[in-house]
């Protein structure tokens, strides 16, 4: 029963996303909004707690690629890879530890 309701939510999301894309010329940014809904529809399956159905829908390679991309984006902002003022260091606190703590 739970799996059927999850797939119904996925179907509604996909149909609504396609509808927005096909009628996107009527509103500003309609195509973008439709694309966001299409990209979010499989994530609703994952958030509903059914990981096996999510893997069947997206495929194992796509799940691993998304995990690697998320880890890369997170690491780019968290790990100290550059100097303050660089584009990719914007997610970190722009202070060095020796400036924060005097020893």
Q: Tell whether 98 is covered by a domain.
A: no
Q: Tell whether 95 is covered by a domain.
A: no
Q: Decide which of 64 and 85 is more confident.
A: 64
Q: Which domain holds residue 45?
A: 2-84
Q: Tell whether 94 is covered by a domain.
A: no
Ordered DSSP codes for 8-39: HHHHHHHHHHHHHHHTGGGSTTHHHHHHHHHH
Q: Report the Cα–Cα distance between both ends of the chain, in Å, rounded.
A: 61
**Over the stretch 45-63, which tens digit does the pLDDT of each residue have?**
888 877 777 777 777 787 7
Q: Tell whether 49 is covered by a domain.
A: yes
Q: Decide which of 55 and 38 is more confident.
A: 38
Q: Tell whether 20 is covered by a domain.
A: yes
pLDDT band at 101 (very low <50, low <70, confident <90, very high): low
pLDDT at 80: 54
Q: Tell whether 89 is covered by a domain.
A: no
Q: Tell whether 91 is covered by a domain.
A: no
Q: Tell whether 18 is covered by a domain.
A: yes
Number of domains in the chain: 1
Q: What is the mean pLDDT of the chain?
A: 74
Identify which of 59, 48, 54 has the alpha carbon closest to the alpha carbon of residue 1. 48
* Residues 9/48, Cβ–Cβ less than 8 Å: yes
């Amino acid at each position: 029963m739970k799996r059927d309701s999850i797939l119904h939510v996925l179907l509604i999301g996909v149909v609504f996303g396609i509808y927005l894309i096909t009628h996107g010329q009527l509103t500003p940014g309609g195509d973008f909004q439709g694309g966001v809904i299409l990209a979010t529809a499989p994530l609703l399956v994952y958030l509903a707690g059914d990981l096996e159905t999510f893997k069947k829908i997206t495929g194992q390679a796509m799940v691993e690629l998304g995990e690697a991309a998320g880890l890369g984006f997170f690491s780019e902002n968290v790990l100290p890879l550059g100097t303050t003022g660089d584009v990719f260091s914007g997610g970190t606190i722009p202070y060095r530890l020796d400036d924060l703590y005097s020893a």
